[in-house]
Structure 1
Amino acid sequence: MITPFVVATLTRRGLLTPGSPVRVASQLKQLWRWGFSLAGELRQAAARDPNRVAVIDDRRGPVTYAELLHRSEQLARSLRSAAGIGSGDRIGLLCRNHAGMVEAMVAGTLLGADTVLINTGLSSAQLSVVAVEQRLRLLIHDAEFADRVVEVPAQVERIEESRAEELTAGAPPGELRPPERDGRTIVLTSGTTGTPKGARRRTPGGFGPLVSIIHRIPLHARDRIMIAAPLFHTWGYAALQVSFALRATVVLERRFEPNSLLGAVTRHNCRALFAVPVMLQRLLEVPPPAKNPLRIVAVSGSALPGGLSTRFMDAYGEVLYNLYGSTEASWVSIATPANLRIAPQTAGKPPHGTKVSILDEKGEPVPRGQVGRIFAGNEMIFEGYTSGASRETLDGLISTGDLGFVNGDGLLFVAGRDDDMIVSGGENVFPSEVENLLADLPQVREVAVVGVPDPEFGQRLAAYVALHQGEALDADAVREYVKRYRARFCVPRDVYFVPFLPRNATGKVVTRDLPRPR
């Protein structure tokens, strides 16, 4: 339903400006026929702004909305003709951020196929398991992953990016109609503790999800947006959906490198950047551009460590927006620059249309300031895992798997994963609390704190610390620092100095790859 709030937000963000009656009519027709899927959003953008640049990638250059739609339709017709792909089939995409990946995503949607977005950090063995568990008919992959797909079962057809280009160029004629069944985008969970699970994402049913985001994060129609977050990640995919809805120009680079990204941001005059938190840390290691066009830096995917938000805004201005959510719950809350200045660790407040409750083990609300389990609900809660499993729900709200609390000002704070909390000598300890404390040390580049077994106390903390180049710190200094600001049971007995933390392609620390105490 289009409410006054929706109309006001769309107007404020420049989406209801006057235009050619013919193009506006065509735009609305495309949304009516194709809905708010990725294909529908691309079609409405191409109908309204066909000559506007849709995507600029670091190899192909600029592609207009009309060209992007044409190429996506060409690829869809070829996949239907050459591989028999149709409604209900599953296509895997193992690609970095580039226009070809976007075309493949749209092509799958045009055919009603489910598109499985595959983490580029998966090993050959993990990729093989994913191909079987997700019942892939087809796998489209970048050339650099040719050696990684060799273990994929033979019944899964593999198409390298050069072959995808040939299929796009040589597509047979034919009409594409809205599929009988809307294809689903399947996002894989992070897989930091094992084989990732496939989560089925809903197709938006209207303007509500878009308005929830752009009301809190002030993106505008026809902005230029750098998407550095991987497109296979929930946040990168959401950024692409929002960008198409806004008829924005998306800038993509295959790999994240701070200087290259800042150069592209400046060269293309990008107003907004979508990233994951670890990218902010890397950006702070190089000088910011002399003339910074960024007015919005929107991050999601993991917690902002220590005082990262404050340090980043000191360097780039009041531009940082932090979205807390999950693959299963979509967005839960959004922190604005004003929120982060007041409380750098906050996850912000729920946006329009989202409800958040902090519940105890019995499912009852806890008082403000008390830690409990975070449950959230909105119209974009996932449809379940492809295995048939789901997440715990209570009164229409889904568990995020995190613990947190809401303070007196209504700001949400995430204490950590409910399965990360440890009990040491009878005391509840949140590793993230110690992690954030150590991250504020000037010598520390990055840090991870985890619980490990202890024969006397049940569990204890272990800290893994990577230092900035040329800095020095010893284990006793780390323990003394924690002892000064936290309780005795928060002091990590084990302190390891490592050159870097093992991370997956979305920047999350892969705890299973950390060295374990003897």
Structure 2
Amino acid sequence: MSIALILEMAVSANPDRTALVSGDLRLTTQQLSDLADGGAGVIAGSQAKHVAYVGTGGVMLPLLIFASARAGLAFTSLNYRLSAESIQALIRRLSEPLVVVDRRYRQMVGDCGKQIMVSDDFVEAARSSDPVTEIADPDSVAIVLFTSGTTSEPKAVELSHNNLTSYITGTVEFDSAAPADAALICVPPYHIAGVGAALSNLYAGRTMVYLPDFDAEEWVRLVNRERITTATVVPTMLDRIVSVLEKGHHELPSLRNLAYGGSKVGLPLIRRALELLPNVGFVNAYGLTETSSTIAVLTPEDHRRAHRASDPAIAKRLGSVGQAVPGIELQIRDERGRVLPPGEPGELFVRGAQVSGRYTGIGSVLDEDGWFPTKDIAILDEDGYLYISGRSDDTIIRGGENIAPAEVEDVLIEHPDVRDVAVVGVDDPHWGQAIVAVVVPADGADPDPEELRAHVRENLRGSRTPDRVVFRAELPTNATGKVLRRELAQALRATPAGQ
């Protein structure tokens, strides 16, 4: 099944429903489909072999996804926050692309690509171009996304039409939304969550309201103005939204579900959000680019039960990413590839039709049985709840002992003087690596490093106690809230102990 069929089904179900709102632009499903038809004609006329986009999204993301699919070409949205040099380097890795770029980023792309069009010009051309419709091979590549490259050079992940439609049809009920349902989308267009939001909301029948440049005050205003029922945010966005709600005493009466994901979220922030929005169903969604988005979900009911639970085993689930979605299998393996029992930490492996595990220039990394190695260290409990400890690359080896940064972070974030924290390993001549906790103090707090070290020692084995505690005004993160640990480690190596 081609992803183009998702738009065709939406048009067939309700051609006059508002499909998307982007600034002053509003398009029905039929209008979006007509524009995608014309866009396919523009793409075909360019003689390109790939379609790339550099910009903030909005209408351009779903338009180019479906126009590319109807033209029979793969589509890639690139990170507009990168340097011009980095953007151009990624474009050169694509085969003869048509590059569509928002006007404010035009200089960033230089002369890369077979042809370059400013987004507004592409839309105007699409309005008058003859339509083109190619029937794509379901096994062909529909979307190519570059990984964030937080620990290595970005890889180009290839997602087939079958991967993406398997995810959508396995997790979303077609045309299941109420007529007034609307989703607020502010995740980046170059992230798998942005692609998934465009496909899943259209398939469900929700109006997509885009906020390309996130601002917490504007987010709250849009929720109320557009009567948003569903939204997806990354942790840094949730933190800012909570701050706005606390200061402004806002109410969000229309909001029913709020999904978060992209990186780990501190439990104090989740508890505060649950208290501020008691009528909202929170969803923790965990997934990877290589898995076509979400593979595990902590549901609203899971959140409510864990938040009010007196049983520690149930309360602990608030820190999990939930259970596998339909069609997904999970395994935890040790370093020798043996499948581990519940409660044992190891590397997470994933299998299912939505899982690609394929990279341009590398090929498939699935094993002979179709399992994908996520490189995430995780635990599955007896009831199938999944707990992510972090990337295997982030593991600190101190005195021969493997230490997951997350277990130290989970303790420190509960200290009242800590707003945010990241734990990294730095080279140490005695221990091999030393544990360094980088702490963002809570507003108005002046934490004592020794008190924070004692707090960890009281809750974990002594070997987990940070060797150093340093303070920063904020942590370096990417657009989805993932801490840039390499940057932190490099900065710490350049900073003498005691500073």
Q: Same fold (TM over 0.5)?
A: yes
1:311 and 2:285 are equivalent in the alignment: no
1:101 offset after TM fit, Å? 2.8
Equivalent residue, structure 1, for 2:310:
none
Give the secondary structure class of the aligned counterpart of 1:321. Answer: strand
8 Å CA contact 1:121–1:504 kept in 2: the answer is no
1:77 and 2:48 are equivalent in the alignment: no
Equivalent residue, structure 2, for 1:320:
282
8 Å CA contact 1:96–1:230 kept in 2: the answer is yes
Question: Within 5 A, what are the aligned runs for 1:291-302?
Answer: 291-302=252-263
Which of the numbers 107, 116, 138 marks the counterpart of 1:147?
A: 107
1:108 and 2:68 are equivalent in the alignment: yes
Equivalent residue, structure 2, for 1:212:
170
Letter in 2 for 1:176: T
Equivalent residue, structure 1, for 2:82:
122
* 177-186 vs 406-415, which moves further: 177-186
- Going from structure 1 to structure 2, the CA distance change for 1:147 and 1:470 (only over 3 Å counts) comes to farther
8 Å CA contact 2:235–2:480 kept in 1: the answer is no
8 Å CA contact 2:2–2:137 kept in 1: the answer is no
1:42 and 2:18 are equivalent in the alignment: no
- Going from structure 1 to structure 2, the CA distance change for 1:92 and 1:232 (only over 3 Å counts) comes to same
Letter in 2 for 1:50: P
Letter in 2 for 1:84: Q
Give the secondary structure class of the aligned counterpart of 1:77. Answer: helix
Inter-partner Cα distance in structure 2 for 1:106 and 1:481: 52
**Identical positions, percent:** 26
1:66 and 2:30 are equivalent in the alignment: yes
Letter in 2 for 1:299: Y
Equivalent residue, structure 2, for 1:478:
452
Inter-partner Cα distance in structure 1 for 2:135 and 2:172: 28
Letter in 1 for 2:80: T
1:337 and 2:294 are equivalent in the alignment: no
- Going from structure 1 to structure 2, the CA distance change for 1:49 and 1:432 (only over 3 Å counts) comes to same
Inter-partner Cα distance in structure 2 for 1:325 and 1:301: 8
Equivalent residue, structure 1, for 2:144:
186
1:286 and 2:249 are equivalent in the alignment: no
1:364 and 2:328 are equivalent in the alignment: no
Query: How big is each residue's C-alpha offset from its partner over 1:220-252, in whole Å with a ceiling of 9 and x where there is no partner?
Result: 354311112222211121121111111220010
1:394 offset after TM fit, Å? 5.7
Inter-partner Cα distance in structure 2 for 1:197 and 1:206: 18
Question: Within 5 A, what are the aligned runs for 1:175-254?
Answer: 175-179=132-136, 182-204=140-162, 209-214=167-172, 220=177, 222=179, 223-254=181-212
Equivalent residue, structure 2, for 1:10:
none
Letter in 2 for 1:68: L
1:156 offset after TM fit, Å? 3.9
Equivalent residue, structure 2, for 1:266:
224
Inter-partner Cα distance in structure 1 for 2:66 and 2:94: 19
- Aligned CA RMSD, in angstroms, stands at 2.3
- Going from structure 1 to structure 2, the CA distance change for 1:206 and 1:74 (only over 3 Å counts) comes to closer
8 Å CA contact 1:306–1:437 kept in 2: the answer is no
Equivalent residue, structure 2, for 1:52:
17
8 Å CA contact 1:92–1:136 kept in 2: the answer is no
- Going from structure 1 to structure 2, the CA distance change for 1:363 and 1:219 (only over 3 Å counts) comes to farther
Inter-partner Cα distance in structure 1 for 2:64 and 2:361: 24
Structure 1 regions of 5+ residues with no counterpart?
1-34
Q: Please, what TM-score do these two structures have when normalized by structure 1?
A: 0.85
Inter-partner Cα distance in structure 2 for 1:206 and 1:195: 24
1:311 offset after TM fit, Å? 2.3
Equivalent residue, structure 2, for 1:493:
467
- Going from structure 1 to structure 2, the CA distance change for 1:92 and 1:301 (only over 3 Å counts) comes to same
Letter in 2 for 1:345: G
8 Å CA contact 1:349–1:410 kept in 2: the answer is yes
8 Å CA contact 2:223–2:252 kept in 1: the answer is no
Which of the numbers 437, 456, 467 marks the counterpart of 2:430?
A: 456
1:91 and 2:55 are equivalent in the alignment: no
1:306 offset after TM fit, Å? 3.4
Equivalent residue, structure 2, for 1:516:
492
Inter-partner Cα distance in structure 2 for 1:325 and 1:277: 15
1:174 offset after TM fit, Å? 4.9
- Going from structure 1 to structure 2, the CA distance change for 1:174 and 1:394 (only over 3 Å counts) comes to closer
Query: How big is each residue's C-alpha offset from its partner over 1:28-77, in whole Å with a ceiling of 9 and x where there is no partner?
Result: xxxxxxx340x22112211221111000112x332111111111222221
1:136 offset after TM fit, Å? 4.3
1:393 offset after TM fit, Å? 2.6
8 Å CA contact 2:22–2:209 kept in 1: the answer is yes
- Going from structure 1 to structure 2, the CA distance change for 1:357 and 1:229 (only over 3 Å counts) comes to same
Query: How big is each residue's C-alpha offset from its partner over 1:264-302, in whole Å with a ceiling of 9 and x where there is no partner?
Result: 111111111122222211211111632432111122221
Letter in 2 for 1:302: S
1:179 offset after TM fit, Å? 4.5
* 388-397 vs 493-502, which moves further: 388-397
Inter-partner Cα distance in structure 1 for 2:475 and 2:107: 25
Inter-partner Cα distance in structure 2 for 1:310 and 1:431: 22
Inter-partner Cα distance in structure 2 for 1:204 and 1:292: 38
8 Å CA contact 2:141–2:159 kept in 1: the answer is no
- Going from structure 1 to structure 2, the CA distance change for 1:442 and 1:469 (only over 3 Å counts) comes to same
- Going from structure 1 to structure 2, the CA distance change for 1:369 and 1:276 (only over 3 Å counts) comes to same
Inter-partner Cα distance in structure 2 for 1:325 and 1:227: 17
1:431 offset after TM fit, Å? 0.5
- Going from structure 1 to structure 2, the CA distance change for 1:193 and 1:404 (only over 3 Å counts) comes to closer
Letter in 1 for 2:272: R
Q: How many residues align?
A: 473
- Going from structure 1 to structure 2, the CA distance change for 1:508 and 1:206 (only over 3 Å counts) comes to closer
Equivalent residue, structure 2, for 1:420:
394
* 389-398 vs 332-341, which moves further: 389-398
Q: Please, what TM-score do these two structures have when normalized by structure 2?
A: 0.89
